[in-house]
Structures are given as structure tokens and as C-alpha cells.
Amino acid sequence: MTAHILGTGRFVPEKVLTNKDFERMVETSDEWIVTRTGIKERHVVAPGQTASDLALQASRQALDEAGLTPDDLSHIIVATCTPDTFTPACACHLERKLGISGKIAFDINAACSGFTFGLEQARAVLALHPHSKVLLVGVDILSSRTNYEDRTTCVLFGDGAGAAVLTGAPGEREVDGEVLDVILGTDGNYSELLHIKGGASGWPYKAGDTVGPENFIVMEGREVYKVAVRTMESACRAVLDGQGLTTDDVDMLITHQANQRIIEAVGKKLNIDNGRVFMNVHKYGNTSAASVPMALAEAREEGRVKKGDLVLVAAFGGGFTWGSALIRF
Ligand code: UT7
């Protein structure tokens, strides 16, 4: 029994931070940011706007395309490392905002690879209960965990949400993206290269403590870069090999949107020409768990992914975590 995507959606908050804005905040330049990352702007939330608010908008779009209502859902899986609250889970807040109850709603945290981990969770649910309807959302508000005094990280991140609705029994639906396979991996030995510590049980705050730099994302960018390229390439090869397919069969490569240079390097190593490599990092920056589902939804909206196309997905993030997936639309 396989999983089928019936609809996708995406949402970014209205407020935009441009590279020029960062020139006023830290010692950086539009030229440095564009040359090193490809990022031109990113969207960030307004005060009070939460992860489940963004997830709600992306979810509604995915449900509309699937021709389903929130009531039809059986499961809500949210991949995030910046939930509204530590508890309840972001998925429970989303359930409430969708106006439903009694579903099975839970979060997973695999940082920027979250959507691929969620796909595997959805496949597991649908293997047990093929008629279930699973809402899978990747959402992050990294602006809430970004140190806007640290130029090495603050220019990179943006906020957003991407969603997909899946079932094991698609019937004769118009949209049908069959998830052919998912391959995941983690290596906790790399945890120091990319982390957010403050406020978690390893770095608890007491009432009255001042929030310091430990509250924010820390990344050894250069090291992460190397492992990200190497790992996404091998994960892509593994998922293709498993299906007896090659990179020539791929119509669109959709990777985690962290850095234009990383995305192009993965495409080049896989011998997939730029015309088959999706890129939207220039508009949104690195949106963590939202980046892959947002890119998938946008690629489909733009007609870059059409019926019959084979999509190769690759993600990489803190943990380290990584995942690849093959989806036939
Ligand atoms: O989403 C999870 C996965 N994350 C990733 O995949 C991100 C991976 N890493 C990257 O994308 C890149 O490593 C970065 C974009 C973070 C950095 O690019 P880089 O080409 O690796 O630059 P670097 O870290 O080697 O820094 C080069 C120089 C340094 O100065 P020195 O030491 O050479 O004098 C930095 O201090 O650039 C400096 N620098 C900046 N200069 C202007 C770092 N950030 C900035 C900045 N503006 N914002």
C-alpha cells in the first residue's frame, strides 16, 4: 500500500525583510548575501502570528485542492522545530483552528528535513489504515529563534508553511502524487554544528533569567554546507536505485532551500541540469521544515511539475537529519 498526495498548499506571512534591511542591522551587504546564498528577501511573521496560524493557511489550500474538508481528516502531522508552544503540540493548535476535534494530531521535529520524516510517518499510518486522510504540514518560524545581532545566521532564515494531504486510497482523484519511496537518516554526532538550545530541558531558564545568545539558532555554516551537499546527493542516489531509476528519469529535483549554491551543487553532482532543479530560496530564504512542501506546492502551481512527472525530493537539517523521496504525479 502506498501513499498518494491529493493536494498541496503553502503560505508565507506578509512582512518582507530585504537584504537592504539587513545592511541597516548588521555588518553585511546585499552583494555578500546574494553571492553566498542567492537569498534576496524572506518573509517574517507579525507579532502574535504563530506557527499554527501559518500552517492553517497552507492546510486550507491543500484541503481545497484535495476536495476535502477538515472533517474528512483522520490525522494531522506537523513537522516543526518552532511550535506555538512546547505543549500542546503545534498539530493540536492546528486541529483547533481547523475547527475539528477527536483526530490524531502530533508533531515531529527533524528540523529542515521534517517534511520528509512526515512523509514516512504518513506512509506508516496509511499502511495500517489506507482510507485515512492525513494532513502533513511543514512549518517553522525561525525568526523567533534568530539572533538578529549575528550576521552569520540572521540573513539566512525566513518563516513559512507548506502542506500536503495524503491518503492510501486515492480513488479517481484529479491530483495524485504517488509517494514511491522515502529514505531517511540521522547522525546525532553532528548536533553541535547546528542547534537551538535555550529554553529546552538541557538549557532551562529560571523565572527572571535574561535570554542570551543560547536562545537562538547557532550554525557552523561551512561544515554544514559540505555535509549537506554530500548527504543529499547520496540520499537521492539511494532512493533512485531502490526504484531502478536514474537521474535521467527525474523531471524535477526539489531540495531543501537553504542556499542557492548548495542546491546547484546537488543538481550538478546528480547530473540534473538547472532547468530540472527547482529554486525559490531567493524569495523566502531558509524556511526550515516549510521549505520542501512550499517548494513542492509552488512548483506545481507554476506548472513546473505536471501530471506524470517524477519529482525527486531531498532535505537536510539539524540533527543532522536527512531525507529523500520520489513522488510520481
Ligand atoms: O537548513 C539547514 C542546513 N543549513 C545549510 O545547509 C546552510 C549551510 N551553509 C551555508 O549555506 C553557508 O555556509 C553560509 C551561507 C552560512 C555561509 O557561506 P560561506 O561561503 O560558507 O561563508 P563562510 O561561513 O565561510 O564565511 C566567509 C566570510 C567570513 O569572514 P572571514 O572569516 O573569511 O573573514 C564570515 O565572517 O564571510 C563572513 N560572513 C559575512 N560577511 C558579510 C559571514 N556572514 C556574513 C554576512 N555578511 N552576513
* pLDDT tens column, 271-324: 999 999 999 999 999 999 999 999 999 999 999 999 999 999 999 999 999 999
Average pLDDT over residues 25-39: 98
pLDDT at residue 138 in the model? 99
Residue ranges per structural domain of the chain: 4-175, 178-328
Class of domain 4-175: alpha beta
Report the percent of the chain where pLDDT is more than 90.
Answer: 97
Q: Which of 181, 124, 155 is nearest to 20 (CA)?
A: 155
Q: CATH topology for 178-328?
A: Peroxisomal Thiolase; Chain A, domain 1 (3.40.47)
- Residue 48 near residue 98, CB atoms below 8 Å: no
Average pLDDT over residues 194-215: 95
Is the beta carbon of 258 within 6 A of some atom in ligand 1? Answer: yes
2 against 238, higher pLDDT: 238
pLDDT at residue 173 in the model? 87
Q: 276 CA distance to ligand 1 centroid (A)? A: 26
Report the percent of the chain where pLDDT is more than 70.
Answer: 100
pLDDT at residue 174 in the model? 86
* Whole-prediction pTM: 0.97
Q: Using the Cα atoms of residue 271, residue 273, residue 278 and residue 281 in order, give the sign of their dihedral.
A: positive
- The catalytic residues are 112, 256, 286
User: For residue 278, what is its C-alpha cell?
Assistant: 527547482
Average pLDDT over residues 10-33: 98
Residue of 36, 42, 151, 261 to mutate, ligand 1, most atoms within 8 A of C-beta:
36
Query: Do 4-175 and 178-328 agree at the fold level?
Result: yes
Say if strands 177-186 and 3-11 run parallel, antiparallel, or are unpaired.
antiparallel
Is the beta carbon of 38 within 6 A of some atom in ligand 1? Answer: no
pLDDT at residue 1 in the model? 67
Q: 35 CA distance to ligand 1 centroid (A)? A: 11
What distance in Å separates the CA atoms of residue 228 and residue 28, rounded to the nearest whole number? 24
The mean predicted confidence, pLDDT, of the chain is 97
Average pLDDT over residues 213-226: 97
pLDDT at residue 95 in the model? 98
* pLDDT tens column, 60-109: 999 999 999 999 999 999 999 999 999 999 999 999 999 999 999 999 99
- With residues binned 3-state (H G I as helix, E B as strand, rest as coil), the percentages for the chain, rounded to 5, are 40, 25, 35
DSSP code per residue over 12-32: --S-EEEHHHHHHHSS--HHH
Q: 201 CA distance to ligand 1 centroid (A)? A: 29
